Amino acid sequence: MNSLTRVVVRGETLLLEPDGGVHGPFSLFLNSRFSNPHSREVVSDALRILYRFLGAYKIDLPRRALEGRFLAEAEQKRLERLVKHELRQIESMHDRMIQRHAGVEPTRHAPSREDKVAKNTSALRLHWTSAFFDWYQQNILDDGIRSVALRNLLKSSYTKGLDDINRRSSTSKEGHHNKIRSLPAERYLQIMREVLVNPEEIFVSDGGGLSATWQRDRAITLLAMEGMRPGAIGNIARDDYWIDDGCGVGYLAIKDNLDRRSKFSTTNTPKAKGINNASYASNLTMKLWNTTCFAMNEYEQVRDKLLEKLSVNKSKSFFFLGDRNEPISSRSTISAIFRRVGSQLKKKGLLDKAAGDPYVKQSYDFTAYTLRHSAISFFYEVNRDEPNVNSLACLHFGWTSSSRQPQRYANRAMRDHASALVHNFVETLYEEVREKRHR
């Protein structure tokens, strides 16, 4: 079939055409906009679908540019319908079958629609397709067209078309504050206490005893409770963490340490999100809580004593070590830690839904990102009234000043605060009514 192949060569993500040639615009877009391998993989799926769409409908973007045209409204709707299908299904179709799937109106029964992706996934695909078109117009077409009038006409056509596509992709509700999955503040603090004070009950081996890696796993869990992403945790080097001798405060630098690894990185390699990408603010220094520093220091002592006994130091100066005392090489190792901890917390009832929590139905998940969301939610609950709370959140949690994420948590905090005020007021009224009737 006429489809693209994604390959990674020396850290660069390339999309290859059927004849083996590199698809220049797609590959340039991926590597200039995204440094995280996982992000490139996700975005490349959207570009591979776009490639099949353009081929099936014989759409030549450069030729259209010379006519000052973008995708017609009907074509945009067809693209919106196509991104709802699984990539493997799309790439297995002939052009005529793609036209059949993309041409079916939502109100009619579509043939072979069992392979559908989640609504949010299709919306994100449309979003990344729009991002590519925007980049393509500014960096490829605009530079290649000499006529000022034609450039202006093309820019107007792309702007209008991309506005329409972005409206379609906004059906994603990922950004709504009700979608934030975090622990209530009281439960969050309760779990932090159990992790630090009662590790023998939380970090349990398969045999039921205290895990041999409990100091490492406790430090990793507490870092996640500070709001660190799992990729960044697995990427910490020993010299990224230090204690200020003057005040006894611990600090952690989040930066790129991939050059310390001997193998090429994959989507499963722990890595700080967005390093060297202007879309993120991951190159930052975090001030850690004393409790986290306590756990980090205890693990560091165990780690160093272990390495001293070995004839060969294979740590490559990474802080957290996995099998054979080598750096943690897979995100799955970190995920497994949270699954084991979560199973013990569940036994203690600490993941049961808290009374009055409107955001979950039964119980809480326990993942690194649950803890990150919980840390941010707790941050806003404590600092809600600070006039520059969003700026402080950006500095602490690795967002740029233009990120929309802080406002999500601000909206959630305001909503919860307002609900609490109303609840307390209603309870007061209820008590007044009861007392009056009693009298």
**Per-residue pLDDT reduced to its tens digit, 248-290:** 889 999 888 888 887 666 666 787 765 554 444 455 888 999 9
Res. 200: pLDDT tops 90: yes
Among 374, 390, 406, residue at a domain's last position: 390
Q: Are residues 63 and 113 in the same domain?
A: yes
Q: Are residues 290 and 203 in the same domain?
A: yes
The percent of residues above 90 in pLDDT, for the chain, comes to 47
Average pLDDT, integer, range 365-373: 90
Residue 177 falls inside a structural domain: no
State the helix-helix crossing angle for 185-197 and 368-383, rounded to 10 degrees: 120
Q: Is the pTM of this model over 0.75?
A: no
Q: Are residues 235 and 361 in the same domain?
A: yes
Most confident range, picked from 112-126, 284-298, 321-335 = 284-298
Q: Are residues 373 and 240 in the same domain?
A: yes
Which is more confidently placed, 130 or 10?
130
Range with lowest mean pLDDT among 76-85, 165-174, 200-209, 349-358: 165-174
Residue 40 falls inside a structural domain: yes
Residue 398 falls inside a structural domain: no
Query: What contacts 39, CB < 8 A, 6 or more positions away?
Result: 274
Give residue 199's pLDDT: 96
Residue 436 falls inside a structural domain: no
Residue 375 falls inside a structural domain: yes
Give residue 307's pLDDT: 94
Give residue 421's pLDDT: 67
Residue 176 Ramachandran class (φ > 0 left, ψ -120 to 50 alpha, else beta)? beta
Range of the domain at 339: 184-390
Q: Are residues 202 and 145 in the same domain?
A: no
Residue 263 falls inside a structural domain: yes
Confidence class of residue 172 from pLDDT cuts 50, 70 and 90? very low
Q: Are residues 138 and 261 in the same domain?
A: no
Q: Are residues 198 and 143 in the same domain?
A: no
What number of other Cβ atoms are within 10 A of residue 9's Cβ?
Answer: 10
Confidence class of residue 176 from pLDDT cuts 50, 70 and 90? low
Res. 414: pLDDT tops 50: yes
Q: Are residues 232 and 322 in the same domain?
A: yes
- Could you tell me whether strands 250-254 and 284-287 are parallel, antiparallel, or unpaired per DSSP bridges? antiparallel
pLDDT tens profile 60-77? 999 999 999 999 999 999
Range with lowest mean pLDDT among 264-268, 344-348, 374-378: 264-268
Number of domains in the chain: 2
140 is written with which tokens? 């490829």
Taking CA atoms, 392 is separated from 13, 286, 297, 344, in Å, by 34, 12, 27, 34
Give residue 324's pLDDT: 85
pLDDT tens profile 212-246? 999 999 999 999 999 998 889 999 999 999 998 77
Confidence class of residue 110 from pLDDT cuts 50, 70 and 90? very low
Confidence class of residue 34 from pLDDT cuts 50, 70 and 90? confident
Residue 405 falls inside a structural domain: no
